[in-house]
């Protein structure tokens, strides 16, 4: 569907050359954020992934040369997967909240290529210095809307060999599903609390989701401490 929308936009706007389109997808609803008749940082990534020099092809189109004259007559679909991942240097900026939003936060990008999506994704994570550990202890503390889905995630972590901690509300949901994590205190519930355990380096992964301005602000310290470790 998005492919068709991009084609319609290009024809309707009569764009010659490159065009940057940004979409957002939520709950199977597609939202068009912006359309720009210019190149974007995605161009070198797609060129590398497909082997097609898109910038050169587009420049010649803008100069009046057709795609057919350049030998570009069909879409190139490689027999492999390519994943682009951002580099987020939050550990270099103490005190900065690593909560992501629409603002540009990355200082670079890396690319992973593999025979499967999983292989390409793993390579991209390694390239961005995000090592993927296979064991340890994970902390789960999620908002109300995510508590149904956290059960499946917890089961997968257990199967992988992880030990689990959870804050009170999340622990109740997991317990009802037959999963019994170690209960960890929030800051106002007494020590040792969640910040103490993060500072002690007890966690391999922390899954924390929040909603609402107050909750997001309350979890800011957790995010900062994680980024600083």
Residues 178-187: tens digit of each pLDDT: 999 999 988 7
Under the banding of pLDDT at 50, 70 and 90, the label for residue 125 is very high
Q: Check pLDDT > 90 for residue 154.
A: yes
Evaluate whether 174 touches 151 at the Cβ level (below 8 Å): yes
Domains of the chain: total? 3
Residue-wise pLDDT for 98-116, tens only, equals: 777 777 777 889 999 999 9
Look-up of token digits 């390694």:
126
pTM for the whole structure: 0.71
pLDDT more than 70, % of the chain: 93
**Whether residue 160 sits in one domain with residue 208:** yes
**Whether residue 143 sits in one domain with residue 111:** no
**Whether residue 70 sits in one domain with residue 114:** no
Chain CA centroid to CA 225, Å: 20
Beta bridge partners of 57: none
Q: Tell me the residue range of the domain where 154 lies.
A: 137-228
**Whether residue 105 sits in one domain with residue 155:** no
To the nearest 5 percent, what fractions of the chain are helix, strand and coil? 40, 20, 40
**Whether residue 214 sits in one domain with residue 172:** yes
pLDDT more than 90, % of the chain: 54
Q: Please give the pLDDT value at position 217.
A: 66
**Whether residue 149 sits in one domain with residue 66:** no
């Amino acid at each position: 569907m998005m492919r068709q929308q991009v084609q319609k936009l290009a024809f309707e706007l009569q764009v010659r050359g490159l065009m940057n389109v940004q979409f957002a997808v939520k709950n199977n609803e597609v939202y068009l954020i912006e359309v720009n008749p210019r190149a974007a940082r995605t161009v070198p990534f797609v060129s590398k992934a497909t082997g097609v020099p898109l910038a050169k092809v587009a420049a010649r189109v803008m100069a009046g040369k057709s795609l057919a004259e350049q030998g570009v007559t069909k879409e190139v679909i490689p027999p492999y997967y390519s994943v682009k991942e951002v580099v987020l240097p939050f550990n270099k900026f103490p005190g900065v909240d690593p909560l992501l939003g629409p603002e540009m936060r990355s200082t670079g990008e890396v690319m992973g290529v593999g025979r499967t999506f999983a292989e390409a994704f793993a390579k991209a994570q390694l390239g961005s210095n995000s090592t993927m550990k296979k064991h340890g202890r994970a902390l789960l503390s999620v908002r109300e809307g995510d508590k149904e889905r956290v059960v499946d995630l917890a089961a997968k972590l257990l199967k992988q060999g992880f030990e689990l901690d959870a804050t009170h509300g999340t622990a109740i949901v997991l317990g009802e599903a037959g999963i019994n994590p170690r209960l960890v205190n929030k800051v106002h519930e007494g020590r040792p609390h969640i910040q103490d355990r993060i500072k002690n380096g007890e966690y391999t992964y922390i899954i924390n989701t929040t909603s609402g301005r107050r909750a997001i602000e309350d979890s800011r310290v957790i995010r900062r401490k994680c980024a600083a470790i």
